């Protein structure tokens, strides 16, 4: 008997369900794709470290925060003077294309350990993935999406898309967290799947309103800077400048859609059925007692 025949005979002799070949296949594929993400990350490091571009985006955000602390201005003079192209540093000023509350987030990391900029969003995404316990078929889909999209370079550069992905991940459990996508206004359409009545939207609206009030003096400057930037880039450039990074915010939806956890609606319906059945069950003895007494 050949080795393959022995293996086939052994597998047939195992109880059904003890070996899940589908899970093995999906897990192996996901692992290989995850290795591809890691490989891409190290390729980025190989190019970025010699050029001094490692964590480049994060350092730009830190410069934005420092510009605000030093001058009281969240937006550089060249952004307010007229249309401009998307250059990062001009005449000692640093470009800021984010709404004012996001600058507050940048400022936190002037004082907090820089490593938390990466740890917090990655931990949120991982925790939500574990929470939803996605089906095996989704594992390669998650890993493949991260491999095809610019996830590795986003980590290496410290791009804010990591925080937007974390907002989407949180929104799968608390829909109001999708309001965090307003940190990159071009991503707001991706909040539409979460527009359903939930208490978390009230909490999110209160937080967003408080942040808007705190940063109110800088909103007029933001409107001017955003308008000038859009004119400078043009319609096509404005729409596709961030492409394809924006599709990364869809990846945290995969574990949610492929969850093996019971849906809340199902739980509520079961609870309702139980509550309805309970009075019937208690009413039965009373009826019997009444007929006995009669």
Range among 8-22, 64-78, 80-94, 194-208 with highest mean pLDDT value = 64-78
277 pLDDT exceeds 60?
no
Of 170 and 5, the structure prediction assigns the larger pLDDT to 170
% the chain with pLDDT above 70: 82
Query: Which residue in this structure is represented by tokens 């709404």?
Result: 99
Residues 203, 180: contact at Cβ < 8 Å?
no
Look at residue 271 in the predicted model and tell me its pLDDT.
Answer: 40
User: What b-and-e string marks burial along 172-208, b requiring 16 or more CB atoms within 10 Å of the CB?
Assistant: beebbbbbbbbbbebbeebbebbeeeeebbeebeeee
User: Per residue in 110-119, pLDDT tens?
Assistant: 999 999 999 9
């Amino acid at each position: 008997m050949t080795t393959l025949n022995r293996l086939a005979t052994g597998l047939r002799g195992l109880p059904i369900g003890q070996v899940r070949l589908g899970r093995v296949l999906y897990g192996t594929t996901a692992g290989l794709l995850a290795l591809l993400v890691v490989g891409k990350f190290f390729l980025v490091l190989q190019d970025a470290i010699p050029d001094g571009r490692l964590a480049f985006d994060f350092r730009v955000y830190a410069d934005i925060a420092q510009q605000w602390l030093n001058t009281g201005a969240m937006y550089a003079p060249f952004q307010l003077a007229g249309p401009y192209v998307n250059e990062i540093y001009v005449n000692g000023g640093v470009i800021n294309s984010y709404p004012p509350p996001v600058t507050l987030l940048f400022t936190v990391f002037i004082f907090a350990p820089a490593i938390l900029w990466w740890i917090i969003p990655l931990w949120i995404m991982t925790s939500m993935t574990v929470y939803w316990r996605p089906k095996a078929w989704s594992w390669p889909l998650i890993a493949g999406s991260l491999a095809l999209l610019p996830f590795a370079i986003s980590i290496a550069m410290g791009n804010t898309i990591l925080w937007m992905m974390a907002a989407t991940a949180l929104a799968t459990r608390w829909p109001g967290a999708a309001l965090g996508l307003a940190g990159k206004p071009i991503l707001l359409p991706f909040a539409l799947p979460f527009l359903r009545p939930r208490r978390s939207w009230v909490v999110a609206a209160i937080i967003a309103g408080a942040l808007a009030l705190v940063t109110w003096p800088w909103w007029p400057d933001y409107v001017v800077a955003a308008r000038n930037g859009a004119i400078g880039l043009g319609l096509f450039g404005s729409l596709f400048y961030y492409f394809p990074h924006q599709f990364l915010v869809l990846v945290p939806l995969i574990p949610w859609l492929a969850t093996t956890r019971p849906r809340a609606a199902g739980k509520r319906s079961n609870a309702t059925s139980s509550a309805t059945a309970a009075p019937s069950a208690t009413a039965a003895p009373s009826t019997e007692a009444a007929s006995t007494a009669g």
